Structure 1
């Protein structure tokens, strides 16, 4: 009996530890190796990937027979049965099309892009390798429907379907499931603190609303970046790019971009990886001296305010400042400012690293436990309501995730620190004030003007003399006095005297999802939810958190049901329905549904239609900002925030004498929301009809609340005689659209009693017949006794947008790749409904992109050309409004592979022709980048 048990035990152990080894290669139909192809055991969670030469080795704790499948993005999958140990398999994959690629984002489950219920774009390893742009993130702009606004060399903002800005809270960016928005800013910083190129597995982009599955900020679109898992991609890979940036304003400057990835599979249960990336260069210098308010003024004019000149936004009506003396002209005069190049070294830098520990506790099971950490720091330029020099900005993320093929549960924390960041506008203003206070400067100006007038000078001569005296001994850029003042101010967090931006904000986030498809045959059902807590801590420099951090939270739950129906042998109908409920602490909860249908015909044509809703909670800044923006004070729209912001102001001598007002008053942000006049009242008052009561000049914008969108979309994907076609059209209707509105809050006078009945602008004597509050408001406007507030609110006006996009790709001249796409986007908004409300559509009506290349022009040599053209458009944002002219660019690259070195060498240029352009009002002109790169892929 003992002998029999021993034999059985040996037999059992032999089965348990039986191991089959398979080796082989994966090549395309031209015999070229396919690196990073996936090799998996069918119906098991075991696999590997091919190396640079297309070779693989796989050890399986399973006896033959079983089946291996080889797959790679852009190729048709192939399966071969394993019949013996130590078998060698050679896979030859036929090239497929973009429609064969698999995406996860559209439905939170793997599916061919061809069958996706909504529009989705994909950017994979092939596209990363062949992009003609300077890096993979820039290459995303070649996708149809995608806009990238260049804020600086290292900070670019992605957007889809309109309403774009650098601070773009309508667009979400997820890196391995983590929202990489900076907590203080509440929007992504591009790839400044993102992913290293050699660790990118795939990128998926959903344009349009996706709130039904992804929550609040998935409003205009969502970008998914997925990294390589160290269980599947082991070894060392890296790259270095060296070149120059060339811009007329900044000249030619060196540019370096490098990254390295190291991953190791210690066993079938434990693997780890680490990545490091570094970018260094000179930023696109912003040097526009055009009038910021689009009046056509220059420094020769009295009230000049240059776009990239800081300090000249400080201005005053010199008659009002001079006590209303008649000899002083009733004109506005501004101080002299400093150029942006005087206030920054223009250095662009990004340093980032991430690491991950991955554990699979159960053999032949997809269960995985992972910890991922990310840190990054950098220097760049950010343009919001003002221009920020982000210097030493630090951000970190830490995630713990448990998942398998059917569920995931993750939690992560994001923390940022502002480092040595400062506001350039405030720097210019306060260097001037460090040298001479505003009161002294305008006092010198007014006194000199009066004396020059009494001496017989003309008005122009008197103004010239006044500015010369007021400017005497002004700190010149580069002088010891200027440098001392500059260093003092950028380290002073009090924005009335300094410009330092302080922050140490955090986001805590958790989300989960479970797919019941393995348990139910009737349909694929998923449920999930998320929770997020904000902790804002800018020490009172950006937010109204003067008395400590501001904390608030939100949560959401959702479900989705998906069902495929075979109508006949050639037609399949795929139905998807989902709904989400969200509740933010500061607002009422509501539901976001999505329904879609996709009809596949003859496996080559798919017609899809969908209706979905989205919502966007106001961002952290839209809720709690409290900031002196120069021309306006920015006060967040949360009701509890209005009283948190306050300022003390000097009252004119006229109001003190006429109305008995005190010399100073304290005004809170509540005045901007509940006792304010329209920003246009000063210019429109002269056209007032005496029979009109003038109530249209009363502003009183409401507290901000979530905005919603209803989106209708139709699309088609298919193959027609060698052409791959993907087209879509959409119509978006917005409710409670969020944006900013500038208003005027006078220091005195109750606008509830504002009544202009009987007032004739041509007859000042009619003022006496008005009630006291109306007289006070008109006097305040005349004597500069008011503040301008930028409020964050919603409009009752109808805001809609619509558009369409089409992409076509094919093979020409044998094996040359040719692709082209066109995007149309249109805003439907009647400004007469709400003249002071700015939608910030910021999107060209027409955009065309095309690419032409060959990955194998001859052995190991390839090339690619990419051309982009953008129509002109109006840019509206809190920094300023202005036209962006039409532009076009050409990017190009050639590459050569040396398989024996596992290396690819590339020579490329972005904006090859050097035609400089800009994508946003106030930003620097974008020049050219020329580079040589060396990529080693030893996986």
Structure 2
């Protein structure tokens, strides 16, 4: 023991005496200081940044010689070899391009964008400073090939390369290495658990499959947010913003946003930081009152405009789903049967029912604005304690991140997210060549509720009385008109009678918004988690993750960059039966994976070869291998032309919803496909998941059966659209690209082609409630309306592929004006006739064009930036509805003025300055304009 202690003492002494201190400055070619320039030890993640005067101090625990690189956005990087302790390094950076920026995510090791083996986009501190949107997260929409679907003021969904939804389980979002998706639902709720703009160091986006390094859900792309290190970014900074949101439906509403960040290094070993931000405003209103068909695929499916028939079911109207034709034995099936019942019980005079038509009638629903206050709120806090026990090449980090907010989320229904809370806690040990971290993510749905079921269950109260009053009023109105010689079979007269009957019934039995009766009923329903009587969402799921990585490059004398890593993940689903079938206790399951990657440079460092492979195993599925091979070749005298090609595979396990959901959304019951889920109780029915998956008809055949009056055949799903329970989805992705500078224009091009196997699909199917699809009893159930519609998770056997490309051009004009242009093409190759019930949900414009123009120094301390985006029309498919989304042109702009003596920047800006409102998805709100002013201090 004594010998070991002496050995460790000698080891730590050696470490303490191997520290090298470097000082210096970074200036441009006009000898002007460059604040915020990155100083990094080549081949490591150790470094610092320059202060306001361009000076820096770097302590590094390694004996000389080694190399240090200085870089800054818009300048060429420069590298100097350190040969002695206390050496002074003076960097002069020439004007360069964005291709010289350093990224880490593409290969899990520092490299310039031009050397990256795959397509990558980057957004950093300076981009945030000159962003034309009021929040940096929305500004990501201006990057090449990136889509941001706006569903709420505080919840926007980032996506790349198609197949977008607001619940985007194909796209991963990491914050300081932590997956910030919801543990229960497997998607990120925008930036609710992200970072404040004051704490952003950089944002990197990898479009396309990245499973080889990042695992199962890295299928469509990954977004990496990296926060500022408290050792290198010290001091106190703050911002305050205010402004207006302007929308035809909602009017003009103020919003307020403020935040601060404080960081301090108490010594060269210990530092801490805290950041906080708070936003509050009024969300965009949604008011699509059209009625849509159930599960139609391939075409837009609006079937009627608002109140065009007495049984109209508007998309953003809730409670009008409560209707006659309830398909329950002994219940009235239409308005005439209600009138007959009243007549038989002496409530209507003899013969009055003959005046009432045999039509379906629905209760008057509530507008979405009746069922939510549209409060948009976001609270984020982030705390870290950083300890460097052996100098700045090793660090122990404890961090806690807390996010809470209110928003609107759109999935199969629309949900009022109220006081939703997420928290993450992480312990990490990292060095130049390794990291080891463990963290937990915990969610709490707070006071969130389903707005559709709020309306439905409010309107279930007094439903029979309401229909009776409606029928009686209709009979009376029809009798009066008939008595005066009017034609009660005339459509216009019938509409008039229906409207009068509805008003009469509503006055008696429909509590009006704002009244004590309405408020009491609303509170009762939204605090009840039983979906048969209430609408409250309960979800306290959590996710625990442990992962690590080691790079052997130093041990291999930098002959090859060789990394090995792995991850273990455990889910614990806990919704008390309100979302998942976990009514008898939490559902726990796990998955794990490991990867190996090697990077080798050849031919005088002109050719860079990257090869990697990953193995992942989910307890419900066989293990999967994900290989990747990429080549980057630097051509030209100065290696200024960089060509790349990559071939990789990716996979995606069915997510927590696809496995264990059991959720009634009104139009259908969502059913997960895990083997353990098949015999679990489903809400509002006596049927189980086994009935849904193995005793059902295809929706298209049921629709055809109804349209033909029962003369066409019903098609069982077995062997006809659902071949098995959900399996792993796989993609083979081929990507080529070029990065370089041609004359005075920086060029970034890429093209991709993806093919899919076992493409994950949600399908509507129809299950007889008492009969079997194997005999006539099932047909009888469908013919008499005795059936249940399910939405099941499965895979399509159809041939599906997608392809596209991006052209990005940027340059300077008149020396100081930054001009950028990019064009994105996206296409889905799928024959709908090969799988009629399959909804691909590509949900992406075929053509997109983005243009930017800015000058950070138009004149002293004054700058501006303008971003314009045009998107082609596209078809949106989702379980809520299908529709064509119109083409749109959006212009955002800002002007800013800096006051160095106050260390402040003032900004005035606006989004969607043309004022023409646009929609990202059917059912979501039309987005208006947003105007803001901000004051940023010491950032």
**Fold match by TM threshold 0.5:** yes
Give the corresponding residue for 1:658.
none
In structure 1, which of residues 581, 584, 604 is the aligned counterpart of residue 618 of structure 2? 584
The 1:710–1:57 alpha-carbon spacing in structure 2 relative to 1, beyond 3 Å, is: closer
Give the corresponding residue for 1:895.
896
Give the corresponding residue for 2:652.
616
CA distance in 2, matches of 1:14, 1:582: 40
The 1:353–1:691 alpha-carbon spacing in structure 2 relative to 1, beyond 3 Å, is: closer
Once the two structures are TM-superposed, the CA of residue 711 in structure 1 deviates from its matched residue by 0.8
Give the corresponding residue for 1:597.
631
Structure 2 residue matching 1:401: 3-state secondary structure: strand
Once the two structures are TM-superposed, the CA of residue 256 in structure 1 deviates from its matched residue by 1.5
1:479 partnered with 2:495: no
Give the corresponding residue for 1:356.
384
CA distance in 1, matches of 2:207, 2:437: 25
Give the corresponding residue for 2:606.
572
The 1:810–1:703 alpha-carbon spacing in structure 2 relative to 1, beyond 3 Å, is: same
What is the correspondence of 1:22-171 to structure 2 with a 5 Å cutoff? 25-39=25-39, 48-56=48-56, 69-78=69-78, 91-171=91-171
In structure 2, which of residues 548, 551, 568 is the aligned counterpart of residue 515 of structure 1? 551
CA distance in 1, matches of 2:270, 2:842: 48
The 1:20–1:452 alpha-carbon spacing in structure 2 relative to 1, beyond 3 Å, is: closer
What is the correspondence of 1:792-831 to structure 2 with a 5 Å cutoff? 792-831=793-832
The 1:598–1:21 alpha-carbon spacing in structure 2 relative to 1, beyond 3 Å, is: closer
Once the two structures are TM-superposed, the CA of residue 329 in structure 1 deviates from its matched residue by 5.7
Q: 1:318 touches 1:446 (CA, 8 Å); kept in 2?
A: no
CA distance in 2, matches of 1:65, 1:735: 51
Give the corresponding residue for 2:744.
722
Once the two structures are TM-superposed, the CA of residue 322 in structure 1 deviates from its matched residue by 2.8
Structure 1 residue matching 2:522: 3-state secondary structure: helix
1:563 partnered with 2:620: no
In structure 2, which of residues 488, 495, 510 is the aligned counterpart of residue 458 of structure 1? 488
Give the corresponding residue for 2:313.
305
Give the corresponding residue for 1:606.
642
Give the corresponding residue for 1:203.
203
The 1:41–1:206 alpha-carbon spacing in structure 2 relative to 1, beyond 3 Å, is: closer
1:923 partnered with 2:924: yes
CA distance in 1, matches of 2:444, 2:730: 32
1:905 partnered with 2:911: no
CA distance in 1, matches of 2:63, 2:507: 90
Q: 2:44 touches 2:433 (CA, 8 Å); kept in 1?
A: no
Q: Which moved more, 1:451-460 or 1:159-168?
A: 451-460
Root-mean-square deviation (CA, aligned residues, Å) is 2.9
Once the two structures are TM-superposed, the CA of residue 79 in structure 1 deviates from its matched residue by 5.5
1:550 partnered with 2:572: no
The 1:710–1:472 alpha-carbon spacing in structure 2 relative to 1, beyond 3 Å, is: same
CA distance in 2, matches of 1:510, 1:679: 43
Q: Which moved more, 1:366-375 or 1:906-915?
A: 906-915
Structure 2 residue matching 1:667: 3-state secondary structure: coil
Give the corresponding residue for 2:524.
488
Once the two structures are TM-superposed, the CA of residue 140 in structure 1 deviates from its matched residue by 0.8
**Structure 1 residues not aligned, in runs of 5+:** 1-12, 650-665, 754-772
The 1:240–1:157 alpha-carbon spacing in structure 2 relative to 1, beyond 3 Å, is: same
Give the corresponding residue for 2:298.
none
Once the two structures are TM-superposed, the CA of residue 556 in structure 1 deviates from its matched residue by 0.7
Q: 2:876 touches 2:922 (CA, 8 Å); kept in 1?
A: yes
Structure 2 residue matching 1:513: 3-state secondary structure: strand
Q: Which moved more, 1:28-37 or 1:590-599?
A: 28-37
Give the corresponding residue for 1:634.
670
Q: 1:319 touches 1:329 (CA, 8 Å); kept in 2?
A: no
Once the two structures are TM-superposed, the CA of residue 67 in structure 1 deviates from its matched residue by 7.8
Once the two structures are TM-superposed, the CA of residue 705 in structure 1 deviates from its matched residue by 1.8
CA distance in 1, matches of 2:867, 2:98: 18
Q: Which moved more, 1:885-894 or 1:516-525?
A: 516-525
The 1:92–1:308 alpha-carbon spacing in structure 2 relative to 1, beyond 3 Å, is: same
Query: Residues 777-800 of structure 1, C-alpha deviation per residue, up to 9 Å, x if partnerless?
Result: 343233321111111111111111
Once the two structures are TM-superposed, the CA of residue 62 in structure 1 deviates from its matched residue by 10
CA distance in 1, matches of 2:774, 2:817: 70
Structure 2 residue matching 1:430: 3-state secondary structure: helix
The 1:532–1:722 alpha-carbon spacing in structure 2 relative to 1, beyond 3 Å, is: same
Query: Residues 347-369 of structure 1, C-alpha deviation per residue, up to 9 Å, x if partnerless?
Result: 11101101111111113x51111
Query: Residues 219-238 of structure 1, C-alpha deviation per residue, up to 9 Å, x if partnerless?
Result: 00001111111111111112
Give the corresponding residue for 1:425.
452
CA distance in 1, matches of 2:771, 2:869: 54
Once the two structures are TM-superposed, the CA of residue 836 in structure 1 deviates from its matched residue by 1.4
Structure 2 residue matching 1:751: 3-state secondary structure: coil
Once the two structures are TM-superposed, the CA of residue 302 in structure 1 deviates from its matched residue by 2.3
Q: 1:260 touches 1:277 (CA, 8 Å); kept in 2?
A: yes
What is the correspondence of 1:229-308 to structure 2 with a 5 Å cutoff? 229-293=229-293, 294-308=302-316
Q: 1:241 touches 1:258 (CA, 8 Å); kept in 2?
A: yes
Structure 1 residue matching 2:291: 3-state secondary structure: coil
Q: 2:423 touches 2:442 (CA, 8 Å); kept in 1?
A: yes
Give the corresponding residue for 1:709.
731
Query: Residues 648-679 of structure 1, C-alpha deviation per residue, up to 9 Å, x if partnerless?
Result: 66xxxxxxxxxxxxxxxx22232221111222
CA distance in 1, matches of 2:380, 2:368: 27
The 1:918–1:398 alpha-carbon spacing in structure 2 relative to 1, beyond 3 Å, is: same
Q: Which moved more, 1:884-893 or 1:243-252?
A: 243-252
Q: 2:664 touches 2:684 (CA, 8 Å); kept in 1?
A: no
In structure 1, which of residues 680, 704, 718 is the aligned counterpart of residue 700 of structure 2? 680
The 1:90–1:674 alpha-carbon spacing in structure 2 relative to 1, beyond 3 Å, is: same
CA distance in 2, matches of 1:270, 1:225: 23
CA distance in 2, matches of 1:160, 1:711: 14
For normalisation by structure 1, the TM-score amounts to 0.89
Q: 2:423 touches 2:441 (CA, 8 Å); kept in 1?
A: yes
Q: 2:841 touches 2:877 (CA, 8 Å); kept in 1?
A: yes
Give the corresponding residue for 2:340.
none
Query: Residues 829-874 of structure 1, C-alpha deviation per residue, up to 9 Å, x if partnerless?
Result: 1111111111111100110001011111112211111000111111
Q: 1:52 touches 1:937 (CA, 8 Å); kept in 2?
A: no
Once the two structures are TM-superposed, the CA of residue 119 in structure 1 deviates from its matched residue by 0.7
Give the corresponding residue for 2:689.
669
The 1:889–1:724 alpha-carbon spacing in structure 2 relative to 1, beyond 3 Å, is: same
CA distance in 1, matches of 2:63, 2:694: 77
Q: Which moved more, 1:314-323 or 1:722-731?
A: 314-323
Once the two structures are TM-superposed, the CA of residue 41 in structure 1 deviates from its matched residue by 6.9
Q: How many residues align?
A: 883
CA distance in 2, matches of 1:81, 1:706: 49
What is the correspondence of 1:367-446 to structure 2 with a 5 Å cutoff? 367-434=394-461, 436-437=462-463, 439-442=464-467, 445=470
Structure 2 residue matching 1:99: 3-state secondary structure: helix
Query: Residues 469-495 of structure 1, C-alpha deviation per residue, up to 9 Å, x if partnerless?
Result: 543411111111111111111111112
Give the corresponding residue for 2:296.
none
Once the two structures are TM-superposed, the CA of residue 50 in structure 1 deviates from its matched residue by 2.1
Structure 1 residue matching 2:129: 3-state secondary structure: helix
Once the two structures are TM-superposed, the CA of residue 51 in structure 1 deviates from its matched residue by 2.3
CA distance in 2, matches of 1:84, 1:109: 26
The 1:185–1:689 alpha-carbon spacing in structure 2 relative to 1, beyond 3 Å, is: closer
The 1:60–1:492 alpha-carbon spacing in structure 2 relative to 1, beyond 3 Å, is: closer
CA distance in 1, matches of 2:575, 2:327: 38
Give the corresponding residue for 2:3.
none
**Structure 2 residues not aligned, in runs of 5+:** 1-12, 294-301, 338-353
The 1:741–1:332 alpha-carbon spacing in structure 2 relative to 1, beyond 3 Å, is: farther
CA distance in 2, matches of 1:916, 1:388: 22
Query: Residues 175-208 of structure 1, C-alpha deviation per residue, up to 9 Å, x if partnerless?
Result: 0000000112210011122101111111111100
The 1:318–1:690 alpha-carbon spacing in structure 2 relative to 1, beyond 3 Å, is: closer
Once the two structures are TM-superposed, the CA of residue 85 in structure 1 deviates from its matched residue by 10
Once the two structures are TM-superposed, the CA of residue 433 in structure 1 deviates from its matched residue by 1.8
CA distance in 1, matches of 2:576, 2:838: 31
